[in-house]
Structure 1
Amino acid sequence: MTATPTHQALQPEFRLLVLLVSIGFFMQGLDTTIINTALPAIAENLQEDPLRMHSVVVAYVLSVAACIPLSGWLADRFGVRNTYFSAIVIFTLASIGCAYASSLNELLFYRVLQGIGGAFLLPVGRLAMLKIIPRTQFLSAMSLMSLAGLIGPLIGPTLGGWLVEVASWHWIFLINLPIGILGVLITFKAMPNITEPSVPQFDFWGFILLLIAMVGLSLGIENVASPLYSLWWSIALVLLGLLSAGLYAYHAHTHQNALFRSKLFRHRIYAIGILGNSIARLAGNSIPFLLPLMLQLAFGFEPFVTGLMMIPTVLGSLASKPIIRQLIQRFGYRQVLITNTLLVGACIASFALTTADTPIWLRALHFFIFGLLNSLQFVSMNTLTLKDLPQQDASSGNSFLSMIMMLSMSIGVALAGTLVNLFSAYWGPEQVVAAFHASLICLGSINLLAAMIFWKIPKNTPV
């Protein structure tokens, strides 16, 4: 008798669903990266300082992080199709709003709306696949969908730079319109509206505490160097964020219906992984924002060339995929994460050695190595964090990790922008190259703290 294979090829009746989820994943991945090379052009058009445009990135990423805890509950309560359809509509309409924004505040408003839609695209799409596609075909479906997640960041910076040069920055948002319309048309054909018969009451107060914590920490750090707010205002926001986080920790320990129960952190490996993720991602996630700015503002590169220069970073990320498993099996999580965390930090700091005259081949190699090391870092951290969670905690633990990943990106970009502004204010605007270099050294040094956290991983941790 022939044994049934563990993993099967994806059947035709599920391909349209995978295409639909891939569209959402592609839109989210593209929008996260396409804006980085366009920020100087947006700043010029809106008559803003390009060194203060990090708020455009922070607004989107922070709203994604804030709404992730809502995604699963909304999908269970109102159905995966209704939630996913609403997410695509919100994302697409918000993209149009971004394109026609006439001021920075207006752009920030629509970026927040865009982030709310983006927060639901991947989690709800993945949940729909989990509920509809048989387990034997789920791996094939996830593999196909992941290609869309790779294509978005791969073409995003270059496409953004090209659109800025041949058309205008408005098109980096308008490009979402045909993609969104395609997603809307497919949704009702490919995705049934599956709901859960029994949905627990939503933890509203826990959600509010988390929201205040995330907004307080991100905006507090972002506004440190802003001339519009005093230093005490920024300190107050950070303290409010820390207080709210502490209150949520108590809430998670005492309320049965909490979004993320404190029992998650009884798993030592999970706790180390979450803390390590939150620190190590600060620098790694800020570099795709900081490097395009440095290439354009400090070194005078054109937007399209800047986008082309970011491609080796994504190629390095792709090159890391085949070797990650072998490295972990050979050296173990502890050794890989300690060593690689230090290497990522050193690589980030070494960007301070580059100048406008650095040879293109050397710059491309440098970016490739960073992409390889950074991808190895993220995959290793994520795998370590989730690998030992029991089944009953897997969904909650994965959602919390997703939220921490986006929050860390938000804080990292805010920190990078603040550092550049602080150093630029200290040395003067004519020393913008030195301001970027000093910021990169500071960001790379953060990984020393992350390496100390990974030092706590038990030496006998199984692979």
Structure 2
Amino acid sequence: MSTRPTLDPATARWLPWVIAIAFFMQALDGTILNTALPAMASDLAENPLRMQSVIIAYMLTVALLIPASGWISDRFGTRKVFFSAIMLFSIGSLLCALSQSLAMLVAARVIQGLGGALMLPVGRLVVLRAYPRSELVRILSFITVPALLGPLLGPTLGGWMVEWLSWHWIFLINLPVGALGCWAVWHFVPDLRGAERTRFDGIGFVLFGAAMVLITIAMEGLGELHLPHLRVMLLLFVGMACLAAYWLRAGQIDNPLFSPNLFRTRTFAIGILGNLFARLGSGALPFMVPLLLQVALGHSPSEAGMSMIPLAAAAMVSKSFSRPIIERFGYRIVLTGNTLLLGVLLASLGLVSETTPYWLLLTQLGLLGAVNSLQFAAMNTVTLIDLDDESASSGNGLLSVVAQLSLGLGVACAGALLGGFTASLGNEGVDTVLGAFQATFLTIGLMAMLAAGIFVQLSDSDGRRAPRQEPPVEH
């Protein structure tokens, strides 16, 4: 156990603000980019339907580094790691703005991801170690507000910047915020380390990371990269082999990255698998909707950005209803029914066309935001609720990795479907762009509905041991 430090009044007052700045930077960056993809593609002489690698590179980098964040903090101290995270994120933002090609932009997003992967988990770790348990709910509630505001402001702000300035400013806006954050970290973040130096599972980290990278590249190979099917199958095979090797090894060592014993808790196993497949559909939403509005329906960037407000606003409002709904109906009914509803709403976007009334589109997006928010709250809670204290940290880490990985795979899968439908419809002489979007939304809606088959495996009593636990906030 680490000794809780005694914070001076200034540090105790300003430390939550410092962490909130970092949370806001990452939350804003996660949504401000989507509206700008068509403008970026035009400037870089790329097809806007093949820009998903810009999003996937960031998500995959974050997913790769999350498992190592705790060990890195214990090894180098929270102040140095948090400072380096904001610095890397800011440098990556500058390099993104200076990029002259898609390859340069993807490489810069990887650097951004190195910083983003450490900001959230290390920020939470600082709060857990610096404040007494009685203060945690208040502090954590405060620092997660910016993470909720980011998706609300991001698309609109991105659309305005693209329309009135240029896409470069969606990255340059991070620089003054990052400079303020670096200064504040050095003055107000304590240098905390774990009391015991644990051994990091380096081999497991390489095997698990290789599996994630290879499987994601294989999905990308079907879309943007246009890899031959033989090469895609080879990448998938090697990726699955690395994953199998990791789990076989993890069962034989004392301190694996993620223990297979976690899956002996049935609700955790169902929750993790349900998260993986349900997020494949919802993860494509922030990527697909701005493209649909701009590329297929001809809306301006600012109009496309403002159209995303109902989705984010409804998600925030529905958070207050998540707990009573879950307590009233239970996880099995809520997750099975809500997953089917999520799939239907995603598929309904496949019916959108030039003649669709704008108010109806906004209503669809608002309903999707509310249903998506309830889905995340219920999935996250049922995954962790039955874990004991010893397993909770490792289980939460694996849930964070799966969440990031499945969102990236969702974007890759949507990009592959979009490319495939564009090619096939083009050969048939149909309206390629809008038709490809409609077919893609119908497909990912059906894919999301299949996850209901996982959640129906829950029993009516699952998760009832701690009925008063607040569903964790989704970032």
CA distance 1:63–1:311, change in 2 (3 Å): same
Query: Does 1:240 find its partner at 2:241?
Result: no
Q: Secondary structure at the match of 1:247?
A: helix
In the other structure, the counterpart of 1:303 is: 301
Alignment of 1:292-331 (within 5 A): 292-331=290-329
> Aligned partners of 2:251 and 2:440: how far apart in 1?
38
Q: Secondary structure at the match of 2:222?
A: coil
CA distance 1:153–1:57, change in 2 (3 Å): same
1:11-58 deviations in whole A, cap 9, x for unaligned? 875231111111111111111111100000000000011111001000
> Aligned partners of 1:299 and 1:185: how far apart in 2?
44
Query: Does 1:380 find its partner at 2:388?
Result: no
Alignment of 1:33-432 (within 5 A): 33-226=31-224, 228-428=226-426, 430-432=431-433
Query: Does 1:459 find its partner at 2:460?
Result: yes
> Aligned partners of 2:279 and 2:129: how far apart in 1?
31
What amino acid is the match of 2:301?
P
Unaligned runs of 5+ in 2: 1-8, 468-475
Deviates more, 1:390-399 or 1:441-450: 441-450
What amino acid is the match of 1:285?
G
CA contact (8 A) 2:69 2:121 kept: yes
TM-score by length of 1: 0.96
What amino acid is the match of 1:301?
H
TM-score by length of 2: 0.94
What amino acid is the match of 1:407?
L
> Aligned partners of 2:175 and 2:448: how far apart in 1?
39
Deviation at 1:357, TM superposition (A): 2.5
CA distance 1:273–1:117, change in 2 (3 Å): same
What amino acid is the match of 2:390?
Q
> Aligned partners of 2:338 and 2:451: how far apart in 1?
11
CA distance 1:13–1:83, change in 2 (3 Å): closer
> Aligned partners of 1:237 and 1:173: how far apart in 2?
33
> Aligned partners of 2:384 and 2:276: how far apart in 1?
15
CA contact (8 A) 2:11 2:189 kept: no
RMSD over aligned Cα atoms = 1.2
Q: Secondary structure at the match of 2:317?
A: helix
Unaligned runs of 5+ in 1: 1-10
Q: Secondary structure at the match of 2:303?
A: helix
Percent sequence identity over aligned pairs: 45
> Aligned partners of 2:344 and 2:454: how far apart in 1?
17
In the other structure, the counterpart of 2:447 is: 446
In the other structure, the counterpart of 1:31 is: 29
For this pair of structures, how many residues does the alignment match? 453
> Aligned partners of 2:306 and 2:448: how far apart in 1?
27
CA contact (8 A) 2:342 2:449 kept: no
What amino acid is the match of 2:67?
P
Deviation at 1:364, TM superposition (A): 1.0
Deviation at 1:232, TM superposition (A): 1.4
* 4+ aligned runs moved over 2 Å, structure 1: 11-15, 225-229
In the other structure, the counterpart of 2:5 is: none
1:91-143 deviations in whole A, cap 9, x for unaligned? 00011000000011111101011111100000000000000011111100011
